Amino acid sequence: MPDTSPLRVIISGGGTGGHIFPAVAIANELRRRLPDSEILFVGANGRMEMTRVPEAGYKIVGLDISGLQRRLTPQNLLFPVRVLRAVRKAGKLLEQFRPDAVVGVGGYASAPVLLAATSRAIPALIQEQNSYAGLVNKLLGRRVGRICVAYEGMEKFFPQEKIVVTGNPVRTEIANGDRAEALRFFGLDPNKKTLLVIGGSLGARTLNLATVAALARLREAGVQLLWQTGKLYFPEAQKQAEPYKQDNLQALEFIQRMDLAYAAADVVVSRAGALSVSELCLTGKACILVPSPNVAEDHQTKNALALVSKGAAVLITDEHAPARLYDEALRLLADPDRQSQLSTRVRELARPEATATIVDELMRLIKN
């Protein structure tokens, strides 16, 4: 008789929104296709996935795992012990949950789960968001059955026969925000231009400092602001924005309803993380990208140039952002024709089918 038991999948990884939100998108697509599927997330204790995943409606279990420090510390000496303990705990989770497959999205927590799964011959898939592969994914690429990537040329990191170019999974609702609802939700004036500033889920110091310095200019120009600061920077940003509250210049620690934030925005200023770039393409927003210089192999600049080379975005370096960012933002806000041109071109680069393709690959892996 055919097996009619629900599909069971573990999704592991996290650390930043760039790992977490693609993982949630994959889970949502699994649930859409198979409503009775059972999905368990595994994250790292103390990291943001331990709150963001339950907010998305999924159960998560935490492992005591973290990365290596860049200098010699007692924590580094204990690193092998922590990894062994995490792998043992991951193994017990696998034995209890009995998944049909495991998906790793990068980040500390995916390593123990993928190690435990592949040692038990459980089908495993990696989803790599960036043009420069993360350490965990590079180390485990040879052990898994399939590697879904967002960029061409990833055979320098992974076995070519395992690679499928899918694009990055983006929550489908991100592009479905209603502008009228968005303006009501954030209390914005429909007759004013709105600028959205997002420095990634953890915030971006350069963008935050440049925004603080530009608050008076934005008020003078009659521009509204939705400014995601990140948790670390929020108290100071909130204090600086308080005098401009009546002008709709809003400092927000984290924006839960990004669908509405994108819908409200005329122009977006953003870092160039892989997920942010994918979301901007899907939403078709005129954008200014300020790549973070503090990432491996400067991969955010590569992400940004993929858009800039097609006339689909404006690039300002982190070094030049303090002096030039808000000059460029105000020029773009005042130029609807240029906004429209950027919007059209960036939308052409979207991969709306990415999440479905990844789940197709996962189902094929399970079947085989």
List, as residue ranges, the binding site for UDP-N-acetyl-alpha-D-glucosamine. Answer: 16-18, 130, 171, 201, 255, 274-279, 300
Name which of 116, 23, 111 is nearest 66 in CA terms. Answer: 111
d(CA 255, CA 241): 16
Annotated binding site: 16-18, 130, 171, 201, 255, 274-279, 300
d(CA 248, CA 228): 14
Instruction: Please enumerate, as own/partner, the contacts of 86-94 that have beta carbons within 8 Å and a separation of 24 or more.
Output: 86/111, 86/112, 87/112, 87/115, 87/116, 89/63, 89/64, 90/12, 90/42, 90/63, 90/115, 90/116, 90/117, 91/116, 91/119, 91/120, 93/10, 93/40, 93/42, 93/61, 94/10, 94/120, 94/122
d(CA 245, CA 252): 12
Question: 325 to each of 144, 209, 331, how far by Cα in Å?
Answer: 42, 11, 10
The identity of residue 157, as a single letter, is: F
Helix (H, G, I), strand (E, B) or coil at 244: helix
Do 326 and 214 form a contact (C-beta atoms < 8 A)?
A: yes
